[in-house]
């Protein structure tokens, strides 16, 4: 009985301590917007982009409010305010509470005088978690990647029998990863492989002497991988470094290696579409099945890539590049591809891709063009 009384007393003491702790914990402070018409809304200031702020409240959810419609805004969070056309640099941002009044955004920092910025000059209002994650912290190797993984197969089982497989990986990472901050750098990775083997038995299977005839075997092996690193020096212009490796059995090409650098421009960049135009100078080494066709080239690439998001999240991707060689004008090349992807279930999509590779000087006896039409399944990583 004494033990039971002691247990009850200890339980009541613990309950009282938990209740006291809950009562002492301060409630989260809410931010307040006062509109020009006198209405008020309480919630949390999320961020600001251009002439608007993102505000989240229990009543209205997450809404976008133009700064011109705000008479007064009082926030309790920690933010940094950037002026328009100002690049974000590590260590240059001052954090503090933000308020909006009389057509100005005021940043009140714990140290220093308040900073007053006219609304028309405000580029971004960044919250501290975004600053810590996207600006101050150096992105790790695995952070921020997006892209697709695709695959397809063709199986023939009859008098002839064979298998053809296609695997593709396209990855991209832009730092910062949030779309509303100007990009500092971008990394692009592309890998494509088509491999096939078709076997046709000899008919009749025996020769005149009764010996078995060898089967006819046709192989397909087309491999491409490329890596590009872009370093932005304005919102739309960037320097780039690139390397690529290609193998195409259909053109007698054992291995083509490419290393170079150049510049790029993004004339169109919206949530629905993006266009990139690039030019570079590079060194190319070509090794063919016929060693007499091997050569080293000093060449250029003039290329464009275009992405268009269609209704129902369908995606059209197109790319074209022309590669003139300056030390051998006959050794020019070109590549083009178009891919259409249609979502079917969550991150899975059906895809159709057409690609053409042109070499003006393939190995002796091989055609200049190599065309592929591939259908398959695509999985979006993000």
Peptide bond into 217 cis (omega under 30): no
pLDDT tops 90 at residue 279: yes
Residue 184's nearest CA partner among 136, 122, 225 is 136
- Rounded Cα distance, 217 and 204, in Å: 16
pLDDT of residue 14: 52
- Tell me the two tokens of residue 128: 């501290």
| Residue 258 pLDDT level (bands cut at 50, 70, 90) | very high
Quick one: 132 exposed, middle or buried, by C-beta within 10 A (0-12, 13-18, 19+)? exposed
Question: Is residue 293 pLDDT above 50, yes or no?
Answer: yes
Q: Is the dihedral of CA 225, 314, 235, 132 positive or negative?
A: negative
Average pLDDT, stretch 323-345? Answer: 95
Whether the pLDDT of residue 3 is over 60: the answer is no
Structural domains in the chain plus CATH codes? 29-136 (no CATH), 146-380 (2.40.160.40)
pLDDT of res. 345 = 92
Long-range contacts of 63-72 (CB under 8 A, 24+ apart): 65/33, 67/100, 67/105, 67/119, 67/122, 68/119, 69/35, 69/36, 70/33, 70/34, 70/35, 70/36, 70/100, 71/34, 71/35, 71/36, 71/38, 71/101, 72/32, 72/33, 72/34, 72/99, 72/100, 72/101
Encoded tokens for 301:
């690439």
pLDDT for 90 equals 65
% the chain with pLDDT above 90 = 56
Region 354-362: what's the mean pLDDT?
93
Helix (H) or strand (E) run with residue 298 in it: strand 295-309
Calpha distance 212→204 (Å, rounded): 9
- Of the candidates 291, 296, 302, the residue with the CA atom closest to the CA atom of residue 257: 296
pLDDT at 60: 85
> Mean pLDDT of all residues in the chain?
88
Burial grade of 124 (CB within 10 A; 0-12, 13-18, 19 or more): buried
Residue 305 confidence class, pLDDT cut points 50, 70, 90? very high
* 186, two tokens: 């971008």
pTM for this entry: 0.80
Quote the tokens at residue 218.
């046709």
Q: What is the mean pLDDT of residues 115-136?
A: 88
Other CB atoms closer than 10 Å to residue 332's CB: what's the count? Answer: 18
Helix (H, G, I), strand (E, B) or coil at 9: helix
Residue 161 CB-half CA count within 13 A: 6
What contacts 308, CB < 8 A, 6 or more positions away?
Answer: 272, 273, 315, 316, 317
**What CA dihedral angle connects 103, 109, 113 and 119, to 10 degrees?**
-20
pLDDT surpassing 70 at residue 21: no
pLDDT value at position 17? 46
What end-to-end distance do the CA atoms of the chain give, in Å? Answer: 62
């Amino acid at each position: 009985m004494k033990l039971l009384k002691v247990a009850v007393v200890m339980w009541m003491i613990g309950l009282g301590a938990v209740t006291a702790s809950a009562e002492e914990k301060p409630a989260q402070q809410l931010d307040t917007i006062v509109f020009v018409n006198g209405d008020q809304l309480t919630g949390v200031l999320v961020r600001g982009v251009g002439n608007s702020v993102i505000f989240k409240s229990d009543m209205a959810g997450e809404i976008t409010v133009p700064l011109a419609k705000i008479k007064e805004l009082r926030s309790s969070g920690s933010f940094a305010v950037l002026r328009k056309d100002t690049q974000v640099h590590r260590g240059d941002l001052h954090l503090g509470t933000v308020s909006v009044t009389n057509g100005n955004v005021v940043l009140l920092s714990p140290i220093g005088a308040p900073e007053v910025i006219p609304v028309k000059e405000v580029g971004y209002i960044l919250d501290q978690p975004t600053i810590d994650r996207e600006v101050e912290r150096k992105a790790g190797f695995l952070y921020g990647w997006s892209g697709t993984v695709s695959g397809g197969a063709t199986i023939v089982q009859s008098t002839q029998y064979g298998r053809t497989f296609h695997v593709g990986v396209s990855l991209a990472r832009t730092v910062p990863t949030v779309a509303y901050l100007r990009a500092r750098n971008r990394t692009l990775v592309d890998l494509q492989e088509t491999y096939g083997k078709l076997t046709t038995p000899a008919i009749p299977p025996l020769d005149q002497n009764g010996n078995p005839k060898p089967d006819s075997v046709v192989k397909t092996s087309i491999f491409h991988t490329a890596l590009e690193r872009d370093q932005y020096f304005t919102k739309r212009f960037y320097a780039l470094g690139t390397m690529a490796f290609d193998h195409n059995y259909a053109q007698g090409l054992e291995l083509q290696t490419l290393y170079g650098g150049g510049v790029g421009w993004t004339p169109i960049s919206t949530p629905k579409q993006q266009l990139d135009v690039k030019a570079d100078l590079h060194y190319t080494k070509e090794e063919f099945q016929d060693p007499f066709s091997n050569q080293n080239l000093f060449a250029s690439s003039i290329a464009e890539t275009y992405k268009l998001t269609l209704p129902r999240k369908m995606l059209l991707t197109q790319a074209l590049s022309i590669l003139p060689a300056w030390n051998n004008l006959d050794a020019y090349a070109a590549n083009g591809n178009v891919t259409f992807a249609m979502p079917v279930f969550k991150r899975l999509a059906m895809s159709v891709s057409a690609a053409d590779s042109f070499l003006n000087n393939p190995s002796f006896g091989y055609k200049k063009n190599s065309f592929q039409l591939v259908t398959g399944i695509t999985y979006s990583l993000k």
